[in-house]
Every structure is written in structure tokens, then in C-alpha cells.
Amino acid sequence: MREAVIVTVRGRVQGVGFRPFVYRLSKQLHLAGTVQNNMDGVRIVWEGKAAAIHEGVRRLRSDKPRLSRVDALSAVPRKTSGLTDFRIVASDRGGKSTLVIPVDSAVCDDCLREMRDPTNFRYRYPFINCTQCGPRYTIIEALPYDRPYTSMKDFAMCRRCAAEYRDPFNRRYHAQPIACDACGPHLSFLDMDGAVRGMREEALADAVRLLASGGIVAVKGIGGFHLACDAANAASVAALRKRKGRPAKPLAVMVRDVRTARQFVFVSTEEEKVLRSPEAPIVLLRKKADCSRYLAETVAPGIRTVGVMLPYTPLHHLLFDDGPYDCLVMTSANPSGLPILSEDDHALSYLRGIADSILTHNRRILHAIDDSVVRINDAAPFFLRRARGYVPDPIATQAPVDGIVALGSQMKNTFAIGRGNQIFVGPHLGDLSAEESRAHYRRTLAHLMTWTGIRLRAVAVDAHPLYSTRAIADELGTRQMKVQHHHAHLVSCMADNNITAPCYGLILDGTGYGSDGKTWGFELLYGNASGFRRLAHLRYTPLPGSDRAVLEPWRNAAAMLITLLGDRGFSLAGRLFSDHRSALPIIAKMINRGVNCPQAGTCGRLFDAVSAILGLCEVSTYDGEAAIRLSECCEPNVAAEPYPFMITGDALKEIDMTPALAAIAADRLNGRPVSKISTRFHATVVEACCSLVRRSAARYPEFGRRVMLSGGSFNNIHLAKQIFQKLTDEGFHVYTHHRLPCGDGGLSFGQLTVAAQKLAVTPIAGRL
């Protein structure tokens, strides 16, 4: 008995080899019909034996291509129409721009096997790839994703590659970056004057030799250059730090394989899965007690974790296949505060005096992108940086967001673009202070706006008058909508969890421009995309010298002590910061006169101050260092008594940490162990947050019991875990981020959602 069905598959099913997969599956199962991409996903018509159709539907999920993701699948019976053959038919796009922008993917096992097979014609070819792996986003010039619109247009396919490209039964059917040594890109080894010292195998051998002997090599990857050196070689790591002017910032490493990683870090099943995934991000893993054979102490000094990734390009694998080292430092090659380097001439000029040589290739990177960074929390990935492998995979929304662009924050920037019911969050672009960074931002935004084919209707922008995004918004020349920073954080977390009804937002953050012109960042809000109400915040204290107090946490600590404790605070500051004693009267004067002393109540600055008081970080050498050092010496899973604090105010509550700071300073001066003080301080912040929520819930029972946790301070795993646990124990429903970072990397997503609500955009007929 012949039957017929129409199967619709939604999810990531376009540009990932799904149609050829369906074609091969249909042939195997003797099913006739068609497969077609349409605006909804992939549409399959099948005719054949009922059992074969049943089996086909099952295997659409179980055998799906590596890079695909099936979100929904429906099979509806229809009348048979006597089909006899199976065909791939042209896409039904109604003339609209192609939706799919494929993401870069780590090399697959099939390609690796071929690369290591001496009988294969791509044996040891560093750019081997197929429909299931290789570069995508980074090589696309224009859509649709097709070879002439990628940087692979520089290479004419040889006969062998072309034959595979055209064969629907081949793994490389329509693999746009298909290449081999005869026709594709090749390696070059450059000295720092730009002279080519070797090509192909010779270039690789030179690089391996230099790495093995302790040198620093800039290696061109998928999204840009890395600076690489042997992670076990303390002298090399020290040289890299010295030359880069990076005394303490933790460096990521690339390790030969998971088995080797287990020698020096703990790897859970879930962490292994993410390490091995096609997205191949950097995963933060806990170091083992003795890891010095693999990792010089200076790779992540004073920190319990280290960022680890696996080799994700064929070239990376060759570097490990040929080299004696097991673990390489692989840190983004970017000049401080500037985007990652992706072109040879920039690498040559910026890395002079830093790298010893450059291992590059002639496949152009059109869109630089950093490695993604995740941590696994309770079996789910938690993004610290969302970039390569994930961008620009869109996130589905409940409400239409068409034509809205959100510009994000000043630091840890990402932008977001709304199209139909999807939000495309752009790559991590970092700090926008430098002109080069803003130029990179403009280019990246313009490309993604063109690719998504949106008609711009509105732009959402942070309310801070001095953010660089304000000027960019003016350039876009459309309706602007200002979104308060912490409101955007709250809504980002809500949208991340598909929640729309008003709820609490506990927002712990570094810096954000408040509605009263003060610097906010320790907030209890209540609201949703339509608006918010501020219920509580940390008492404001002055930041003498503004940015300088951020870079030098001891200034901020001194200001807090002086402001909150008066003369007693002044003398405490003198004892705690004896090196800076002569500067204290000036700071006191600045505070008294209110000169260049913006008022701030932020969690980030509070952590900075305590870190400085404990002598952990008086001057910061990288963003977030003081807070990270403080959290690193917190004893995990230890219950500690909170320090005393006060909550004042009525409708708008204020947390006053004066007694806590006095006690912390006293404990420090009395020589109590820093780890004990840090643990108690964490418990204090946890208790302060929970009591705010608790009191508010008692006062406003109608507000419900849902709490969003957002803001960059939730990158602090102790803080995040303890607040989550305590509020959950008290009967609240607590939500965190899981598809976007909790910090400013997730801000644009919230801004866009707020703007969409304000616009109440109506869906445009016929568009997704």
C-alpha cells in the first residue's frame, strides 16, 4: 500500500546539508517525492511504503547532519500522486533575501580521518572541510551562501574537487569552501618583516619547530589570529605576557585532546560534549592541584579555572600531530581594546615585538570573530562571550521584532537585529572606546543588516549620553528609543526565558546610566518590556576621578570608607593603603567639594572596593580583575555568617553596607584570612539581595515570585549559585541566562525586546 505525507522540519535546517541528507535518505528507503527549502524551514513530500515513510521520519531526527538542529517536525498525510523519483527542487523564497547565515564549525571527524589518511588526496591538507564543517560566517561576502560570494572565490576548483561538489551522494556536495592542495588555500610562514620563510609543509614544520623551542607564533585561524606558545613553558608564557603588556589576565589554552585535558583539569561529561561540539568554544574548567606539567602557573595566575578549547581547524590538529607540546596558549591576537586581527598586514604591524613569526594562509577572513567562552552550570552552557560558532544563529522570539536594531553597551558590546520573529545577536565586539573598534562595529553591523534584508524601523540605544552607540544611532538616521541599562538587563533575561509578564529583576552589574543620572548597578527592579519600577538599590558613594577609580580600585575603596565612615574611614584608608597615604587628603577634598566625583551604587564597584581593602587588587590590569580575584578566594560551598548591613528607605529601599565595610576593614587589619573575609562578604551580598526580594514580596504580594538574575556580576559563580539557591529555597522562581551572556553581551537582546514592545510592531505579511 503506497502512502504520501508532507513533512515540515523547522530549526537549523538550511545551509547545513539537510536537503542532500534527505535526498540520500529517500533513495535508501525507496521513497519518491521532493525536498525544498522554504521560508519555514525544509518541506519534504514523500510517497512510498508506509513503513519506509515511518522510518524516514524517524531518521530525520536520529541521523540528521551534524550542524543541523531540529526544533519542530510535523508529518501530515496527503493523497498519493504517483510520483516515481526523488528530486531536490529549487528553494521557494518568494524573492526575499535568504534567511540563513551559516555559522563557522570545527572540523568534523570524517574530514580529520581523511586528513590523516596517506592514501587520501587531501592527506595533511590544512583546509580540508565538508558540508558538515569548516568556515562559514567568516568567509561570506554576500548572501545567498554560495562560493562566488565567499572569499573562496579566489580559488578555482580543480576537477576532483568540482566532481565532489556536484555529486549529491558526496559529503562535499555543495560544500562552498571545498578545496584541496592542488586548488585551494595554502600556508605561509612569515618573519616579522613580512618575508615568506616557507610555504605549505615547510611553513607548518617551521611553526611547529618554533613553538616547540619556546617561540611565540601568530597563527591565523577561522576568525582571526591567535598568539600561540607552549603553555607548559613558563619562560614563553612570561615572554608573551611581557611583550603584550598583560601581566595577569588569564590566557586561554588549546589542548591536544580531551584525554590530555583530563591530566590537568576536571572535565565532566557535559563539558566534554561542549568542548567537542561543532561550536568548539573555550570552556572554563577547574584546574587540578598539580597541573604544572601542562600549564605554567602564569597562564591563569591565582585563578582556579582555565579556559580550554580543543583544536578546531585542520591546521590546529596538524600543529598538535606534529609537535611535542600538549597544550598551547592560544590567546586572541588583538591590540589592547581593539578588534581581533584578521589580516596579514595588520598582524605584521601590530604584532611586531610580540610574535616571533606568523603562520598564515591566503583564505581571506572577511569577518573577524573571537572565540566564544562558556562555562557549564548545572549541565547547561552559560555564555561569557558569544561569538564564533554561535553567531549569527538567530534566537526565536514570541513577539515580532521586525526592523529593529539595538546597539548594545559601551563595553563587551554586541548589537542585535530583529527580523520577523527572530533576533540576530551579533558577535562580541568588546570595548567601543577606540575609533578602530567603532569602525569594525559599523562594518559588522552594516553587513548583518544587509544580510538579514531588514527595513530599518527603529534603533534602540542605551540611555547613557556618552556611549559611542549614541553617535552610531544618529548615523542610522531613524527613530531612536532610549532604553535604561538595567531595564535592558532585566528584559534580556526575561526574553532569554520566554517570559513576558512583569517580574522582579535583581540586576548586579558594573556600571550603567541610571534614570536619575547616577551610576546604577545594584538594583532590584520590577517590570517587563513595557516599563519598570526601581524598588531598591545600593547606597551611592562617590567615584573620585570617575574612570580612574575604576582602574584603581583602592581609590574607590578609600572613597567608600571616607564617605561612609568619616574620620574613622579616613584613618582606616590610611592604614589599609599606606602606599597611597599622601593621596588620601586630595581624595577627601574631591569628595567634600564634589569635584569629578560621580555618584555610584554598583555591585561591581563594591566588589572592587572590598578586593582593594583585602589587598587582592589595588590597581586593575584587566577588566573585572578586582572582582575576579575576590571571588577566586571565596571558599565554595561554605556557609558563612553575613556581615551586618542596613536596609533603609520606604518605597525605594537603600542597602547600606557601612557596617559591613567597617567590619571587613577591621578583619583585614586584624589579620583574619582573606578567604574567610571574602566568603563572609559574598554571604553578605547574597543576604542583602535576598532580603530585598523577600521584603518586597511581603509588601507587594501581587508582584508574584518570579526573579530574573542579570548583570555582569552574575559571572561570579559563587554569587550566582548562592543567590539562586537561597531565593529558590525561599519559594521564588529564579531565572538566569542560558542563550546569551548575563553581562553587557546580552544587553542588545534586551534593548531590542523593549523597543519592540514600545513599537508594538505588527507582523509584515509573508515574512518569517
Is the distance from CB of 738 to CB of 710 less than 8 angstroms?
no
Residue from the set 130, 231, 333, 754 that interacts with Zn ion by CB under 5 A: 130
Closest CA to 175 of 120, 83, 226, 111: 111
How many positions of this chain bind Zn ion (CB under 5 A)? 10
111 binds, among Zn ion, Fe ion, none (CB under 5 to 8 A by kind): Zn ion
SS3 content of the chain, % helix, strand, coil (to 5): 35, 25, 40
Nearest distance in Å: CB 362, Zn ion:
15
Query: How far lies 591's CA from each of 389, 574, 594, in Å?
Result: 47, 16, 5
Nearest distance in Å: CB 565, Fe ion:
29
State which of positions 28-57 bind Fe ion (CB under 5 A): none
Residue from the set 133, 222, 476, 565 that interacts with Zn ion by CB under 5 A: 133
- Of 22-30, 178-186, 657-665, 717-725, which segment contacts Zn ion by CB under 5 A? 178-186
590 binds, among Zn ion, Fe ion, none (CB under 5 to 8 A by kind): none
Strands annotated E in 18-89? 32-38, 41-49, 69-78, 86-88
Give residue 631's Cα distance to chain centre.
21
Is the distance from CB of 44 to CB of 6 less than 8 angstroms?
yes
744 binds, among Zn ion, Fe ion, none (CB under 5 to 8 A by kind): Fe ion
434 binds, among Zn ion, Fe ion, none (CB under 5 to 8 A by kind): none
Query: How far lies 446's CA from each of 122, 333, 426, in Å?
Result: 37, 24, 11
Nearest distance in Å: CB 65, Zn ion:
11
Is residue 687 at the binding interface for Fe ion, with CB under 5 A as the rule? no
- Of 173-181, 375-383, 403-411, 679-687, which segment contacts Zn ion by CB under 5 A? 173-181
CA angle (244, 245, 248) in 5-degree steps: 105
Which residues neighbour 681 within 8 Å (Cβ) at sequence distance 6 or greater? 610, 630, 634, 643, 660, 664
CB atoms within 10 A of CB 690: 21
State which of positions 727-756 bind Fe ion (CB under 5 A): 744
CB nearer Fe ion, residue 104 or residue 523: 523
108 binds, among Zn ion, Fe ion, none (CB under 5 to 8 A by kind): Zn ion
161 binds, among Zn ion, Fe ion, none (CB under 5 to 8 A by kind): Zn ion
Closest CA to 99 of 378, 361, 448, 532: 448
CB nearer Zn ion, residue 388 or residue 739: 388
183 binds, among Zn ion, Fe ion, none (CB under 5 to 8 A by kind): Zn ion
Show the site string, 203-242: x = touches Zn ion by CB under 5 A, - = not: ----------------------------------------
CB nearer Fe ion, residue 449 or residue 685: 685
Residue from the set 57, 83, 88, 158 that interacts with Zn ion by CB under 5 A: 158
CB nearer Fe ion, residue 371 or residue 509: 509
State which of positions 100-119 bind Fe ion (CB under 5 A): none
- Of 132-140, 234-242, 556-564, 576-584, which segment contacts Zn ion by CB under 5 A? 132-140
Nearest distance in Å: CB 111, Zn ion:
3
235 binds, among Fe ion, Zn ion, none (CB under 5 to 8 A by kind): none
Q: How far apart are CA 35 and CA 41, in angstroms?
A: 11
688 binds, among Zn ion, Fe ion, none (CB under 5 to 8 A by kind): none
CB nearer Fe ion, residue 678 or residue 710: 710
Q: How far apart are CA 542 and CA 74, in angstroms?
A: 59
Residue from the set 103, 161, 347, 550 that interacts with Zn ion by CB under 5 A: 161
Q: What are phi and psi of 259, to 5 degrees?
A: -60, -40
Question: Which residue has cell 581594546?
Answer: 337
Query: If DSSP codes are grouped into helix, strand and coil, which group holds residue 708?
Result: strand
72 binds, among Fe ion, Zn ion, none (CB under 5 to 8 A by kind): none
303 binds, among Zn ion, Fe ion, none (CB under 5 to 8 A by kind): none
CB nearer Zn ion, residue 159 or residue 593: 159
Is the distance from CB of 107 to CB of 126 less than 8 angstroms?
no
- For the record, the C-alpha cell of 190 comes out as 612569515
Is residue 111 at the binding interface for Zn ion, with CB under 5 A as the rule? yes
CB nearer Fe ion, residue 625 or residue 744: 744
In which order are the strands placed within the sheet that holds 416-419? 395-396, 422-425, 416-419, 404-406, 458-462, 479-483
End-to-end CA distance of the chain: 37
CB nearer Zn ion, residue 45 or residue 128: 128
Residue type, 475: E
- Of 182-190, 220-228, 268-276, 435-443, which segment contacts Zn ion by CB under 5 A? 182-190
How many positions of this chain bind Fe ion (CB under 5 A)? 2
Buried b (16+ CB within 10 A) or exposed e, 220-255: bbbbbbbbbbbbbbbebbebbbeebeeebbbbbbbb
CB nearer Fe ion, residue 306 or residue 626: 626
Which residues neighbour 593 within 8 Å (Cβ) at sequence distance 6 or greater? none
**For Fe ion, which residue has the nearest CB?**
509
CB nearer Zn ion, residue 133 or residue 231: 133
Closest CA to 60 of 48, 72, 50: 72
CB nearer Fe ion, residue 400 or residue 604: 604
Is residue 112 at the binding interface for Zn ion, with CB under 5 A as the rule? no
133 binds, among Zn ion, Fe ion, none (CB under 5 to 8 A by kind): Zn ion
CB nearer Zn ion, residue 16 or residue 219: 16
Question: Which residue has cell 524551514?
Answer: 41
Q: How far apart are CA 273 and CA 285, in angstroms?
A: 13
Q: How far apart are CA 665 and CA 480, in angstroms?
A: 46
DSSP alpha helices (H): ranges in 414-521?
435-452, 468-476, 485-496
Nearest distance in Å: CB 746, Fe ion:
9
- Of 340-348, 384-392, 506-514, 619-627, which segment contacts Fe ion by CB under 5 A? 506-514
Nearest distance in Å: CB 175, Zn ion:
8
CB nearer Fe ion, residue 339 or residue 521: 521
Question: Which residue has cell 617561540?
Answer: 215
CB nearer Zn ion, residue 114 or residue 326: 114
Is the distance from CB of 357 to CB of 205 less than 8 angstroms?
no
Residue from the set 6, 183, 239, 338 that interacts with Zn ion by CB under 5 A: 183
Nearest distance in Å: CB 711, Fe ion:
6
Is the distance from CB of 125 to CB of 317 less than 8 angstroms?
no
Region class of 479: left (phi > 0), else alpha (psi between -120 and 50), else beta:
beta
CB nearer Zn ion, residue 4 or residue 67: 67
Residue from the set 206, 230, 402, 509 that interacts with Fe ion by CB under 5 A: 509
Closest CA to 233 of 343, 130, 328: 328
Residue type, 212: A
373 binds, among Zn ion, Fe ion, none (CB under 5 to 8 A by kind): none
CA angle (92, 95, 100) in 5-degree steps: 65
Nearest distance in Å: CB 413, Fe ion:
11
Nearest distance in Å: CB 412, Fe ion:
8
Closest CA to 440 of 338, 514, 529: 338
Residues that bind Zn ion in the complex, under the rule CB under 5 A: 108, 111, 130, 132-133, 158, 161, 180, 182-183
Kindly list the residues in this chain that would bind Fe ion in the complex (CB under 5 A): 509, 744
